Amino acid sequence: MSIGLFGRKIGMTQIFADDGTAVSVTLVQAETCQVSQIKTVDTDSYNAIQVSFAEQSLSKITKPQLGHLKKSGTKGFKYSGEFQIDDPNSYKLGQMLDVNVFSTGQKVDITGKSIGKGFAGNQKRHNFSRGPMTHGSKNHRLPGSIGAGSTPGRVYPGKKMAGQLGNKMITIKNSEILFISAPENILVLKGSLPGKKDNLLRIAPVD
């Protein structure tokens, strides 16, 4: 396993492949991340690298966070995350990471919070079919039966019903990096990614 980055979604556009086909892509502004902790099997029972990102003034950081970040440098960061890797000793505290950790054509997993769509019914949330619209039917978009009567006398957990749609962490697997702009720290990835503009994304390489 190798290290990844965090970034923010800029938006979507399209590019044209060599054969002339239009390809939908998403632009991601990668954050400049700093290695803030090195975890090994001896100290933490597993190998991982913790990275801090979203630079912030030291006056806005809590004292526990400040004490933790001072071990790796003098900069303040708002967020932290980690990536499990095979060889954590190849990195140093305070080391800065940018888009150069990736390469064009590489496959990555993108994790982020999806767009929240509020309370939704069964048709929109689970793609259920509706009832008949004519012949006196009074069940158009109602849920219908949700279980048996006296036995079991309750609704089983996990029953697909109306409720909150979206606004949860999802992962898009095997998204391809089509282009890297190192001077601007921007990644161009194939297809759509979770969330709307400025949504925070975790970009992890696929090994």
Token pair, residue 44, equals 């933490």
Note the pLDDT tens digit of each residue in 57-114: 888 888 998 898 888 888 889 999 999 998 888 899 999 999 999 999 999 999 999 9
Looking at residue 25, what is its pLDDT? 96
The 8-class DSSP code of residue 124 comes to H
Structure tokens at 129: 């079919």
Residue type, 91: Y
Cα–Cα distance for residue pair 122/141, rounded to 1 Å: 8
Domain assignments of the chain as residue spans, ordered by start: 5-117+171-205, 118-142+151-165
Report yes or no: 35 and 94 within 8 Å, Cβ to Cβ: yes
Residue 19's identity, in one-letter code, is D
pLDDT tens for 169-202 read 999 999 999 999 999 999 999 999 999 999 999 9
Nearest by Cα to 177 from 196, 204, 199, 200: 204
Mean pLDDT of the residues in the chain: 92
| Residue 65 one-letter amino acid | Q
Q: Residue 202: beta bridge partners?
A: 6, 111
Which CATH architecture is the domain 5-117+171-205 placed in? 2-Layer Sandwich (3.30)
Rounded percentage of the chain residues whose pLDDT exceeds 90: 75
Report the pLDDT averaged over residues 130-146: 92
Q: What is the pTM of this model?
A: 0.86
